[in-house]
Structure formats: C-alpha cells, structure tokens
C-alpha cells in the first residue's frame, strides 16, 4: 500500500513538473506598428515601422533586424539593418512619388529561431488610377452577350438536397443547373431557402477561384436571405473527388483559356451565368419581390461587382478584396490584380499579350466598377499579396455609387469575422 501511495505521489510530481515546464505563451512576442495608426500617408512622407519585441518577458537588446522594402508586389528597392534597443527598433519604409502602396519585410533571430513580418502602407490611395483600357463598345458587348444567354431556353434543372444538414425544418436546399450559352455551358449552384413561410430578400454568393468542391451554405439563410452559392465551371456540385481532380487537370489555369478571343474567353460564360443566376432567384415565390444582393470575396468579390454592374435589379453589393482588378498594372511597373497576368513579357509565350490585354478590357473588374449604380460595402487588407491593395483601390476608386470602404491594414487574403459581421448587418440594412 505504501509503495502504491509513493508511486501515485511520484506520478503527481511528474504531472506538476510537466505542467510547470510547458510554456503558456511564446518565448518571443513582437509587434510591428506603423507610425501612422491607419498606415496611410501622403506622397513624399517617409513612414517608419515601430518594432516592439520581448524574449521571455525582457525587451530585446542588441538583436539585429534586417529589412527590405519596395512598392507593392515589386522588387525591393530599400534594404538595410538596424538593432533592437530596450525592446524597440525603428525601420524605414521609403516613400512614393505616385499614389500606391509599399511593403516592408522585417526579419530577426532569437536563440536560433527566425521571426519575420511584412507590413504595407499606403500613399494617397484615394488617387490610385486604373491602368486597364476602357473599351468604347464595352456596354454593347455585354448587352449582346446577356441577350444571347437569356435566349437559351434549355430548362433549368432543380434537384432536391436531402442531407438533413441543409434540408430540415429550418431550410430547404436544392441543387440548380442553369444553362447559360448556346454551346451547352451551364453553371451549378445550391439555393437555400428559409422554411418560415415568409418572403425574403435574395443573395447571390459567387465563389472564390479554383476548381473545387462547393458545399451549400446556410449562414446567410440564417440571417434571413435566400441564397445561391455558385460553382462556375459547369462541374456538377456533387461530383466525386476523382471527377474534381480530373477537371483541375483539364481546366488548369482557366483564366488564360481563349484569352485572345473576346467572344470565347473563359469568363464570358461565367459572367452571363451570374446574370442568369439573379434572373432565376427573382422567379422564386419565396422572394420578397424587392431586395436583391450579391456578396463574395477574391474571385467571388470580382464576380459580385461584375454582377452588380450587369444586372440592373441588384440593389446592393458587398465585395471583399476583388480579384481580376486592373490586371494590366504589371505592364506599367506596378501591382496588378489576381491572377498576376502579364507580370513578365516572357510569361505564357504562346499568348499574344497585346491581344490579351485588349480582351481583358472587357473583363477587368475596373470597367464594371465604373458602371455600378447600387450601394456597396467593400473591404480589403493592405497585406494581401493575392489581390494586392494597389489593384483593389484602382477598382474601388472609380465607383461613383454610394460606397463604404472598410480598410483593415493588418489582414492578408482573408477577412476578420468582425468585418464579415459588419458587412452582413450592412446588407440587412439595405433591404427595404
């Protein structure tokens, strides 16, 4: 018995010792702040980053910091080193002579562990102008494209979804296939309708980039919206993993497909498909007959702005870090939007870049943003390298409709939950 009690006591000591040794916080804590709290400056000003760091609770002292800075998504043009003193170091960012953003990446090492952070700051960002051309027949081209898409009379297929997670006493979800061109191209999506017997606003939710599985979403339905979550590649949403992988290999970099041909470019079917998705939502008997919205991020943010511009019945748009914005930026030595087309003249040598750039004038978000007439909520992060802030502001700055721009300097290619909630509340406030 004594031996048992001794063993229990020893095990208890080991457990306590283990709990005492296990760290409850990282050994190194560091913060990087711009000397303007909003990270925004005037052209010619010279920002500095303030670095604060502790190791084991003691301010770093004598630790070297290396840094490099440059214009958004460009090569660094400023490099150097500095040293932490009493837990603080100051790092220069450089300045700009034209509106835009600059990045600064800092690195240091403590006890063999490396630490790094990148911060971007903006200069007169309200004055960033687009570089993409604005075709004179832009409106006519899209009017004719939509007219042809609406002339396709192949019946819409609606398939009930029986998964109790998406169809239950609160919601009913169906899979919808909408034909959108003469060649048999279609878009698929999930439509989720609240089961409360009331009328509801409709909300179209286009997807981010890639060929991937799309699942129904009930989050906006829980907020009182009828939602349409879309897939853009004509791939049945219930496709197997093998079918999705095969489609990835077949479609690949779809944003380059037929990019030299205005009428055949991959996104043409997608854009008119978004319009037909709104058309379909407006036929639902559960729609309140008044309110139509669209929201999405990245490629979905692009398609949100595009849909708002092309469909006159859209009443509000909430777009996050829209892709496909001012893609020609790299041609003039500044950041362009996803998918980083035309970064180098040697990229995709099989493509005639002059032709492709002319075609992109009909598909770039900037030229749709010029034509948005409904109120909008827009969010982007300064540190986003997928959809660089320079390209996003080039699009947002040409919007003349009422707009609320929420900048979150600390975010990358994602959004904070608090901002997402703010956008949802804003969309609800737009409903009449």
In DSSP notation, 32-81 reads EEESSTT-EE-TT---EEEEEEEETTEE--S-EEEEEEEETTS---EEEE
Catalytic residue among 298, 304, 325, 411: 298
Query: For the chain, what percent of residues have pLDDT higher than 90?
Result: 85
pLDDT of residue 20: 55
CA angle (140, 277, 194) in 5-degree steps: 150
**Local structure of 362: helix, strand or coil:** coil
Element (H, E) at 191: strand 186-194
Could you confirm whether 181 is annotated as catalytic? no
Local confidence band at 293 (pLDDT 50, 70, 90 cut-offs): very high
Local confidence band at 23 (pLDDT 50, 70, 90 cut-offs): low
Give me the mean pLDDT over the 14-34 stretch. 74
Q: For the segment 152-183, what is each residue's pLDDT rounded down to a tens digit? A: 989 999 999 999 999 999 999 999 999 988 77
pLDDT over 70 at 326, yes or no: yes
pLDDT of residue 240: 87
Q: Which of 123, 117, 67 is nearest to 90 (CA)?
A: 67
pLDDT of residue 86: 97
Could you confirm whether 200 is annotated as catalytic? no
Q: Which of 420, 422, 369 is nearest to 397 (CA)?
A: 369
pLDDT over 80 at 137, yes or no: yes
**CA 402/CA 396 separation, integer angstroms:** 11
CA angle (415, 420, 421) in 5-degree steps: 150
Kind of pairing between the strands at 113-123 and 40-41: parallel
Per-residue DSSP letter, 85: B
Cα 272 to chain centroid distance, Å, stands at: 21
Local confidence band at 16 (pLDDT 50, 70, 90 cut-offs): very low
CB 349 within 8 A of CB 321: no
Give me the mean pLDDT over the 343-351 stretch. 77
CB 298 within 8 A of CB 323: yes
**Local structure of 153: helix, strand or coil:** coil
CB 178 within 8 A of CB 156: yes
Cα 225 to chain centroid distance, Å, stands at: 21
CB 159 within 8 A of CB 167: no
Give me the mean pLDDT over the 92-112 stretch. 98
Could you confirm whether 86 is annotated as catalytic? no
Mean pLDDT of the chain: 93
**CA 90/CA 6 separation, integer angstroms:** 56
pLDDT over 90 at 213, yes or no: no
Specify which of 3-12, 228-237, 422-431 reaches the highest per-range mean pLDDT. 422-431
Q: For the segment 53-89, what is each residue's pLDDT rounded down to a tens digit? A: 999 999 999 999 999 999 999 999 999 999 999 999 9
Per-residue DSSP letter, 237: T
Catalytic residue among 200, 384, 391, 411: 384
pLDDT of residue 301: 98
pLDDT over 60 at 22, yes or no: yes
Q: Which of 254, 178, 171, 248 is nearest to 216 (CA)?
A: 171
**CA 343/CA 168 separation, integer angstroms:** 49
Local confidence band at 423 (pLDDT 50, 70, 90 cut-offs): very high
Kind of pairing between the strands at 64-71 and 100-110: antiparallel
CB 322 within 8 A of CB 333: no
């Amino acid at each position: 018995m004594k031996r048992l009690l001794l063993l229990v006591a020893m095990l208890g000591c080991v457990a306590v010792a283990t709990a005492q040794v296990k760290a409850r916080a990282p050994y190194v804590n560091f913060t990087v702040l711009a000397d303007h709290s909003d990270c925004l400056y005037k052209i010619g000003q010279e920002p500095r980053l303030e670095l604060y760091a502790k190791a084991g609770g003691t301010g770093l002292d004598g630790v070297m910091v290396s840094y490099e800075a440059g214009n958004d998504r460009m090569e660094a043009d400023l490099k150097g080193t500095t040293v932490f003193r009493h837990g603080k170091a100051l790092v220069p960012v450089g300045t700009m002579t034209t509106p835009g953003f600059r990045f600064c990446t800092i690195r240091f090492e403590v006890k063999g562990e490396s630490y790094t952070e990148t911060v971007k700051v903006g200069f007169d960002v309200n004055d960033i102008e687009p570089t993409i051309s604005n075709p004179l027949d832009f409106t006519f081209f899209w009017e004719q494209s939509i007219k042809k898409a609406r002339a396709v009379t192949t019946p819409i297929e609606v398939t009930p979804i029986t998964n109790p997670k998406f169809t239950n006493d609160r919601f009913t979800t169906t899979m919808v296939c909408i034909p959108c061109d003469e060649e048999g191209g279609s878009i698929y999506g999930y439509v989720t309708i609240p089961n409360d017997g009331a009328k509801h606003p409709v909300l179209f939710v286009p997807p981010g980039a890639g060929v991937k599985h799309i699942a129904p979403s009930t989050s906006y339905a829980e907020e009182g919206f009828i939602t349409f979550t879309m897939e853009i590649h004509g791939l049945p949403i219930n496709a197997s993993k093998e079918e999705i992988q095969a489609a990835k290999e077949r479609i690949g970099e779809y944003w380059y497909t037929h990019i030299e041909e205005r009428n055949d470019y991959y996104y043409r079917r997608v854009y008119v498909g978004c319009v037909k998705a709104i058309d379909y939502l407006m036929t639902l008997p559960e729609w309140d007959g008044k309110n139509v919205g669209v929201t999405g991020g990245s490629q979905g943010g692009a398609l949100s702005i595009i849909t708002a511009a092309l469909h006159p019945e859209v009443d509000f748009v909430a777009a996050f870090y829209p892709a496909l914005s001012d893609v020609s930026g790299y041609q003039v030595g500044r950041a362009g939007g996803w998918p980083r087309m035309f970064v180098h003249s040697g990229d995709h040598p099989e493509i005639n870049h002059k032709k492709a750039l002319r075609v992109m004038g009909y598909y770039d978000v900037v030229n749709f943003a010029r034509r948005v007439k409904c109120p909008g909520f827009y969010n982007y992060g300064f540190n986003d390298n997928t959809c660089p802030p320079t390209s996003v502001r080039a699009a947002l700055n040409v919007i003349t409709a009422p707009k609320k721009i929420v900048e979150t300097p600390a975010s990358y290619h994602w959004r904070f939950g608090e901002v997402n909630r703010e956008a949802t509340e804003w969309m609800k406030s737009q409903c009449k």
